[in-house]
Structure 1
Amino acid sequence: MARGKIQIKKIENQTNRQVTYSKRRNGLFKKARELTVLCDAKISIIMISSTQKLHEYISPIITTKQIFDEYQKTVTADLWSSHYEKMQEHLKKLKEINRNLIKEIRQRTGDSLNDLGYEQMVNLIDDIDNSMKLIREKKYKSISSRIDTSRKKLRNVEDIHRGLALQFDARHEDPHYGLVENEGDYNSMLGFPHGGPRIIAVRLPPGHHSHHHPSLHSGTGASDLSTFALLE
């Protein structure tokens, strides 16, 4: 069955276009290898896809430079010289740009002013004034940011100092400030001995509870019974 002819035009679908490019590139390189072996031909193929990928085939018996050298001899054209001249022209332009930039920098520091006319000096002053305004604005923003940071740190220090002062005043007014119930081997309960609120701490042996301990009811075992003023 004969294959149908494909219309030669750009393939709009990107995926199909890349698949076709890959298949035909491989076929082209295969034919180039066959020509190199069968006919002792010197072949160089350079391809760049629509995605800017470079593919090339060079006959194993020759280099790319040798291919270009033989091409120059055949068409009597000096490709390297013209390329070198373009590179030199580009280098000359870059050097000129570099000289102008160095000159402008020196003029902003007060050097190389002899070549400037009156209007050029006025424009230079305006440029420097605008630059100074931007620098001052940046400096003031930096100072403001530092001041805000220092104020936040100061507020934190003041809060810590205020908390410590309140704790100190509380300890000064009540020497028993900060006692904690159930500390260590003590169990504690609220009581009202001698007409005032107290905290009664009782040391209990392991495995016993306060309502079974005789010292709590009979008043014995003075070494295991301690009372503290209840905080108001």
Structure 2
Amino acid sequence: MGRGKIQIKKIENSTNRQVTYSKRRNGIFKKARELTVLCDAKIFIIMFSSTKKYHEYTSPNTTTKKMLDQYQSTLGVDIWSTQYEKMQENLKRLKVINNKLRREIRQRTGEDMSGLNLQELCQLQESISESVAEIRERKYHVIKGQTNTFKKKVKNLEQQHGNLVLDLEANSEDSKYGVVENEEHYNSAVAFANGVQNLYAFRLQSLRPNLQDEGGFGSRDLRMS
């Protein structure tokens, strides 16, 4: 039974369309290889699928550039000049943008302002003022963060000192430990400790003198002799 003819129209099902494209593409490339060998022909084929995938076939012992150069030579056209002109136009546009940005940078540092009129100077001043405001806001934010971090560290240190003092007072009944509150008692304790083996004298010294009358142990320093 013979094969039925396929109606030539767009295949609506995307999966079937992609499968058909893949099979027929491979068939075309196979025929191109055969034609290259049988007839010593140079063949160059470019394909783009509906999914924007790129496929290319070029005869052996040649390259895409060689085929395009031969195409230009045969038809007497120059496809590269158009592309070169577009690249040159794009380069000029980028240079203009670059020069404008460089000038704006110089103007923000107080340079190259001789060609500005009053309106442009006012706009420049307003732009710089907005930038300064943003920088100042960011600076205050950083300072606030550093200050909060410092306060947390101080609070942790005071808590550690307070816990140490509480532990010391809890063990103060031990005969070989003694806690003194002022310099006079501390010196006496040291003198006494020098004559007694295994006796230690501890002095509580305020880390923040202006808080001596507040009470508590968080602001005291512990020293041992």
Mark yes or no: TM-score above 0.5: yes
Aligned residue number for residue 3 of structure 2: 2
Residue 17 to residue 147, structure 1, CA distance change in 2 (3 Å): farther
The size of the alignment, in residue pairs, is 176
1:96 aligns to what?
96
Amino acid at match of 2:167: Q
Q: Is the 8 A contact 1:45 1:58 kept in 2?
A: yes
Is the 1:72–1:78 contact (alpha carbons within 8 Å) kept by the matching residues of 2?
Answer: yes
- Report the more deviating stretch, 108-117 or 62-71: 62-71
Matched residues, percent identical? 53
One-letter amino acid of the counterpart of residue 124, structure 2: L
Q: Which residue of 1 aligns with 2:20?
A: 20
Counterparts of 1:26 and 1:147, CA distance in 2: 70
Equivalent positions of 1:1-232 (< 5 A) are 1-13=2-14, 15-175=15-175
Taking the aligned partners of 1:85 and 1:10, their CA distance within structure 2 comes to 40
Cα RMSD for the two superposed structures: 2.0
Do 1:36 and 1:43's aligned partners in 2 also have CA atoms closer than 8 Å?
A: yes
Distance 2:16 2:126 in 1: 59
Gaps of 5+ in 2: 178-225
Q: Deviations over 1:51-97 (max 9, x none)?
A: 44332110013221221122112222111222212211111111111
**TM-fit CA distance, 1:159:** 1.2
> Matched residues in 1 for 2:77 and 2:121: separation?
51
Matched AA of 1:147: T
Q: Which amino acid counterpart does residue 162 of structure 2 have in structure 1?
A: R
Distance 1:99 1:21, change over 3 A: same
Q: Which runs of 5+ in 1 are unaligned?
A: 178-232
Larger Rg: 1
Which structure exhibits the higher relative contact order, with contacts defined as CA atoms closer than 8 Å and separated by 6 or more residues? 2
Contact in 2 for aligned 1:42/1:61 (Cα 8 Å): no
